[in-house]
Homo-oligomer: A and B are copies of this chain.
């Protein structure tokens, strides 16, 4: 990272996108059956390389080779649960940053137990909506599945607690996103409500954060950059979309077309 570049600035966001494009990080995804396709396409559009390696024996073997790993609990069948623990342990042992997306945690028993076990393995980034972050921190009972019943700011304290517990960063998704390392909080605007009308809008962000986690530098800054890039592409896509179907297509095109210069000129961070 250039010494003259301040983290947590639009200029850094542009720099981080440039680094992702240059390095094409290999992102291993253990994710839910609903969003695998969209997630892989989001990573490809961004300029990263997806690898959906999610079976036991392979998941742990691959994590040390990956640039980043995503563990998303959306549809955690038994074989995938084993692979998730294996991947998180191997990522931790080898220094590969990994992202935990605790989908619908709190409301459902199997994934809630798994999320607690994974949390103890110290993910570099936790990404969820407010209800999920509250539930994971032990402050809430979870939403009704994938919906967020709580606002982002209501989860800010829980996000701080989680970040300090893992030593990592927590990103709370909502109309205005919040990213915290337990000490510093950053808000990220941009984005569009159409992201909530397409399945995987949040899940694919988890994969993008795994790609940005592979960029050298302050983890709070790389995570914030990932959120900002994602939101900028969503905003751009929404400007031309007739509805959620067209938006999903335009979002992939916008991610591919997004330039570091465009990001550096935005004012989404506060």
Contact = CB atoms under 8 A, between A and B. Distances in A.
Interface in A15-48: 26, 32-38, 40-41, 44-45
Given A40-B200, A41-B245, 16 more contacts: A34-B36, A41-B199, A41-B244, A44-B198, A44-B199, A49-B145, A50-B199, A51-B146, A53-B145, A55-B78, A58-B108, A61-B109, A62-B145, A245-B250, A245-B253, A248-B252
A197 interface: yes
B61 A75 contact: no
A78 B79 contact: yes
Interface residues of A, number: 60
Contacts of A253: 242-246
Nearest to A49: B147
A109 B57 CA distance: 7
Interface of A: 26, 32-38, 40-41, 44-45, 49-55, 57-58, 61-62, 65, 74-80, 104, 107-111, 144-147, 196-200, 242-246, 248-254, 256-257
B248 A243 contact: no
Q: Which of A45, A55, A104, A245 has the most CB of B within 10 A?
A: A245
